[in-house]
Structure 1
Amino acid sequence: MTTLHLRGVSKSFGTVEAVKELTLTVPHQSLTAVLGPSGCGKTTLLRLIAGFLRPDAGEIAFDDRVVAGPSTWVAPQQRRVGYLPQEGALFPHLDVAANIGFGLSRAERTPARIAELLDLVELPHAMASRQPHELSGGQQQRVSLARAMAPRPHLVLLDEPFSALDTGLRETTGRAVVRALRAAGATGLLITHDQNEAMSLSDQVATMRAGRLVQAATPFETYAFPADAEVARFVGGANVVAGTADGGTVTCPLGALATESPVTGEVRAVVRPEQVELTPAQPDSDVAAVATVLEVSYYGHDAAVRLSHGEGELLARVNGTEVPRVGDRVAVRVRGPVHTIPA
């Protein structure tokens, strides 16, 4: 059981500051997803933790053991860190058992240990003799995880491990990986740019932007209480509307909206697409906003609707059985209280 501590960690490449004074705690036996767009510093952070790069400043510790700091350096092979890369990187000339046992000593590389690791990643024992090319993409990733878990690492680093899988496999493989980490009592760090993946799999979401940690919170807190407008838009999509707050109400182009907590002054209201309710516009309607449907993306169970109203564009999520058509005029109402951030 290991808690990962990052304290003021920075790393630059020439004039490019890839990671800037980043402080984060990953509790033991938990999974933290580091979320952000390409180029925000996620992979550099992972390589610093693994020991592939040295930080320019700051400190990295596993529990109370410092592995990287101003006067301390522990080599990657001495950190007991497991690593799961994007596409598994199995050895094509070795069977599943040999791939899993590659990092173990001869004494540890027993059939019983291989079977235990196959159980851990929910693969049948019969797969031990198969070659990598005989496996599906999801099975290959599970074998890669078993290999990473074989030496009983303190920490497992997952570098966008599901990006090459199709949507269905991503979800089932992701769930299997999380169950394996929990069963092993391992601490995990998942690097991803996929918001759904980060929100659905992790205990904590660490959102990065331009090398900095913007917010570290549970998935619910990240979605319900984003630190700023960019986090709100990046995680799940959001309509960020300027308004004036007075106590428990913010007045904006979408009407007088209840706020989740009392606030006063100029703010921006975060209106999630699923909070936007659309009904056919009536000539004598007293709703605050009427909009025109610009685009509909239909997904079966629901639909994303892009609208134009007096102050700009708006995104709504509606039930798949209540989808308006492009060109329709609709009345807009907002359900429930909204989160506000400073203007």
Structure 2
Amino acid sequence: MPAITPRLEVANLSRRFGARDVVKNLSLTVAPGQVTCLLGPSGCGKSTTLRMIAGVETPDSGTIKIDGETVCDANHHLPPEARGIGLMFQDFALFPHLTVAKNVAFGLSGSAAEKSARVDELLERVNLTGFGPKHPHELSGGEQQRVALARALAPRPRMMLMDEPFSGLDNRLRDGIRDTTLEVLKDEGTAVLLVTHEPDEALRMADEICLMRDGAIVQRGSPYHIYNAPSDRAAAAFFSDINVIKGVSKGALTQTPFGAFLTPGHADGGAVEIVIRPQHLKIDFDRGGRGPNTTPQEGTPARGIVARARFLGHESLVDFTMEFDGSKLTAAVPGVFLPKVGTPLWLMIRRDRCFVFKA
């Protein structure tokens, strides 16, 4: 079978503002129908990358291709309107003086009947049938977002670029709007590049995540891979709270409150960090770790003293001071569990859920 041409291909893209390299030799591809997420903290260069792909920012170097056609390189820069790209931003940017139907039809060409049919089709897809005569000020934030989606999709763009499009929505509405948006985009077969600083949004929507830091992609892969095989401590911490157990590798072993850990590949005498998420730190109510619920992967139990406990609705977080070395660890317990401060409890960890990094 012939290779599928990527819908979007970016190679060695760079942008500098003054003395600061905002984007550094960034490369990525997005296949037709794929949702790729640029994920990272504010200021990491993800929005600048999106703006360069859209054509509203000019890169200092690099190449951008859409369906194999070069739209930007050292020799030419195709304007945004000629790139076949749809844009969605946090600000929905609807025209307040136009009806919903006229907003959606704004970028369309063809006869009045063709425009009307496309508008009706998209309003039905975003669950806004009958909203055509309304004006934006008559709509809720979620409804405005769906109008913005319909308008961006109306000209059948080859590529959809989305910059924090859901961040202005109420938390109670956000998940439903995300799901509706993703369903419509998949039905249209549109390739999507989504920018967000929210890990939950990336995990929920993306087929592939590109984790950015300081203007560069530091890890790229499926949501499962990025979450379960982070490239470093910072990558693990970006997706959830973490516990860090510090130690020194000696003879490919590192001593911890939970016994010796295998740390091959780390220099003898080198400092290492063993990272584990709170949900994988288990409280052993059988005391000593020999009860029926333990497994070989959980290793040696260690005793901690409760320093604080708080209820978060779906789970409780319990902070411990470890007797072994005074280090601080946090366990996440499903449901309600609020032991008194000072209570000693035995803890176990899932060794197969630990990540070992050079300190």
Fold equivalence (TM over 0.5): yes
One-letter amino acid of the structure 2 residue matched with residue 273 of structure 1 = P
Query: What is the identity, as a one-letter code, of the residue corresponding to 1:209?
Result: R
Match of 2:51 in 1: 47
SS of residue matched to 1:88: coil
Number of the residue aligned with 2:259 = 255
- SS in structure 2 of the partner of residue 152 of structure 1: coil
- Cα drift, residue 303 of structure 1: 2.2
Matches within 5 A, 1:2-21: 3-21=7-25
Give the structure 2 partner of residue 307 of structure 1. Answer: 320
Residue 198 (structure 2) pairs with residue 194 (structure 1): yes
Cα displacement (A) at 1:91: 1.3
2:41 aligned with 1:37: yes
Q: Which residue of 1 aligns with 2:343?
A: 328
| Residues 109-258 of structure 1 mapped to structure 2, 5 A cutoff | 110-121=115-126, 123-243=127-247, 244=249, 251-256=255-260
- Closer, same or farther in 2 for the Cα pair 1:324/1:65, shift >3 Å? farther
Is the contact between residue 62 and residue 74 of structure 2 (CA under 8 Å) also seen in structure 1? yes
1:271 and 2:302 correspond: no
Hey, what's the Cα distance between the residues in 2 that align with 1:62 and 1:205? 20
Q: Aligned to 2:90, what secondary structure does the other structure show?
A: coil
Shift of 1:313: 2.4
Given candidates 309, 334, 340, the residue that maps to 1:296 is 309
101-110 or 126-135: which moved more?
101-110
Residues 227-246 of structure 1: CA distance to partner in whole angstroms, max 9, x if unpaired?
A: 11101111122223334487
Of 60, 63, 66, 1:59 maps to 63
Letter in 2 for 1:341: F
Q: Rg larger in 1 or in 2?
A: 2
Cα distance in 2 for partners of 1:4, 1:198 equals 19
Percent identity over the alignment? 38
Unmatched runs of 5 consecutive residues or more in structure 2? 291-298
* Residue identity matched to 1:292: I
Aligned 8 A contact 2:109 2:115 in 1 = no
Farther-moved stretch of structure 1 (297-306 vs 193-202):
297-306
RMSD over aligned Cα, in angstroms?
A: 2.6
- C-alpha distance after superposition, 1:204-255 (max 9, x if no partner): 11111111111111111111000111011111222233344878x8643343
Contact 2:311–2:336 (CA<8 Å) still a contact in 1? no
Report the Cα offset of residue 284 of structure 1.
11
User: Would you say how many aligned residue pairs link Structure 1 and Structure 2?
Assistant: 339
Asked if the contact 1:9–1:19 (Cα under 8 Å) also holds between the matched residues in 2, the reply is: yes
TM-score by length of 1: 0.90
How far is the alpha carbon of 1:289 from its aligned partner?
Answer: 2.9
Instruction: Name the CA distance, whole Å, in 1 between partners of 2:30 and 2:331.
Output: 35
Contact 1:2–1:187 (CA under 8 A) maintained in structure 2: no
AA matched with 1:268: E
2:87 is the counterpart of 1:87: no
The amino acid across from 1:305 in the alignment is: V
Q: Displacement, 1:271?
A: 0.9
- How far 1:282 moved relative to its partner? 5.9
1:2–1:29 CA contact under 8 A, matched in 2: no
Rounded to whole Å, the distance in 1 between the matches of 2:90 and 2:160 is 14
The corresponding residue for 2:332 is 317
* Contact in 2 for aligned 1:155/1:186 (Cα 8 Å): yes
Deviation at 1:72, TM superposition (A): 2.8
- CA distance in structure 2 between the partners assigned to 1:312 and 1:60 by the alignment: 49
Matched residue, 2:293: none
TM-score by length of 2: 0.86
